[in-house]
Each structure stands twice: as C-alpha cells, then as structure tokens.
Amino acid sequence: MKGLLKEFSKGIFRENPIFVIALGLCPALAVSVSLENALGMGLAATFVLVCSNFIISGIRDIVPSQIRIPCFIVVIASFVTIVELLMAAFSPQLAKQLGIFVPLIVVNCIILGRAESFASKNRILPSILDGLGMGLGFTLALSFVAVIRELFGSGEILGFAVNKAYLPATIMILPPGALLTLGMLIGLTNLIKSRSRK
C-alpha cells in the first residue's frame, strides 16, 4: 500500500512534470492565460495519462519491443481523440480556447515519457496511480501558473473581478509573463527542495 501511495504522490511533489522535471512546458506556457484553460488542459492530459497507462501496462507483454513506440502513440492518440471529441461536444468554447494544444497531447513528453519509462515496465494498478499522480501534478502546476497570470494580467479569477480598482499588468497574459511566472515558480520549487534537504 505504501508503494502505491508513493507512485501516486511522486508526480504531485517529488517529480512534478512542470516544476521539477520540466516536461510539458509548451502547453504550460500557452494555455495558462486563465485558470479555466489550465484546468481544462490538465484534466484532458490526466484522462489521457491514466487511460493510456492502463492500456499500455496491460499490453506490455504482447507488444514486440521493435514496435512499442508506434503502438504507444496509437493508444495515446486514441484517447486524445476521445478527449477532443468530448470537449468539442460538451465544452466547445474551451475546445476553441485550447485550440491545437489538445491534439498535441499525443506528442506531449509527459504522456509518452510515462508510457515508456513506467507503464511499459509495471503492472496495471501502479501504472494507473502513476498516471493519476502525474496528471494531478501537471494540473496543479498549470493552475498555479494560470492563477498568477490571470490575477495579475486581468485582475480576475475564472471571470470574476478580484478588485475593480486594480490596473492589470498586461504583460502577465502575454508570453513573457508566462516565462516570468514559470521561471519564478520553478525557482521557488528548487528553493523549497534545497531547504528541505538540510
């Protein structure tokens, strides 16, 4: 039980995909203009991670090693298509805002990396928990970046004005604001990790 909890929690803290491993930075920078976008992208990636880890772990013994990567990509692409269609059907505005970044989940380093380094080598339950933890860590990291950018860049959170007298810093909702926010949060993560080792 302790090992399963460790597999789940590593993606949230110790091996956070964005703040520690620095994978999946392209969507983190592009879609983190608002918390709504961040949550939508995070949930989509989590769904794909959990489902693809489940299938890949289940077929790992029957897929020849020479074609494992193409097989993994087909599995991942299938779940990305499901997410894309569901998002277009039930949340077309969010699908429009996320644009090309939903289909690009297929080649997201986090998803393919977890398939290759974990799901293809482990049993189903640990693989599901690994995908869930990594997805949750990705979602939380995207959300932190988005809250800071949306709050300072537009003075709102999820469309609600925080302070009507606030004069937004427009740079925060532009690409330089994304890089600045992400850099500060990665630096803060490294500082916390270095102090916890002492």
Residue 149, in any domain of the structure: no
Sign of torsion, CA 140 144 147 153? negative
Cβ within 8 Å of residue 88, ≥6 positions away: 95
Half-sphere exposure of 107 (CA within 13 A, CB side): 5
DSSP per-residue string spanning 22-81: --SHHHHHHSTTSHHHHHHHHHHHHHHHHHHHHHHHHHTTTS-GGGHHHHHHHHHHHHHH
Listed residue (53, 188, 181) closest to 119, CA to CA: 53
Neighbours of 102 (CB within 10 A): 23
What is the token pair recorded at 43?
């949930």
Per the structure, the count of domains in the chain is 1
Residue 194, in any domain of the structure: no
Averaged over 116-141, what is the pLDDT? 93
pLDDT in tens, 29-61: 888 899 999 999 999 999 999 999 999 999 999
Model confidence at 8, in pLDDT bands (50, 70, 90)? confident
Residues in the chain: 198
pLDDT in tens, 77-98: 999 999 999 999 999 999 999 8
State the Cα–Cα distance between residues 12 and 7, nearest whole angstrom.
Answer: 10
75 burial (CB, 10 Å; 0-12 / 13-18 / 19+) is buried
- Give the strand pairing for 160-161 and 156-157: antiparallel
Residue 118, in any domain of the structure: yes
Distance of CA 69 to the CA centre of its chain: 21
Averaged over 12-41, what is the pLDDT? 88
State the Cα–Cα distance between residues 20 and 194, nearest whole angstrom.
Answer: 12
**Host domain of residue 70:** 2-144
pTM of the model: 0.89
Averaged over 166-170, what is the pLDDT? 84
Residue 110, in any domain of the structure: yes
Beta bridge partners of 156: 161
Residue 185, in any domain of the structure: no
Task: Name the residue with higher pLDDT: 167 or 137.
Answer: 137
Residue 182, in any domain of the structure: no
pLDDT of residue 198: 65
Residue 150, in any domain of the structure: no
Residue 192, in any domain of the structure: no
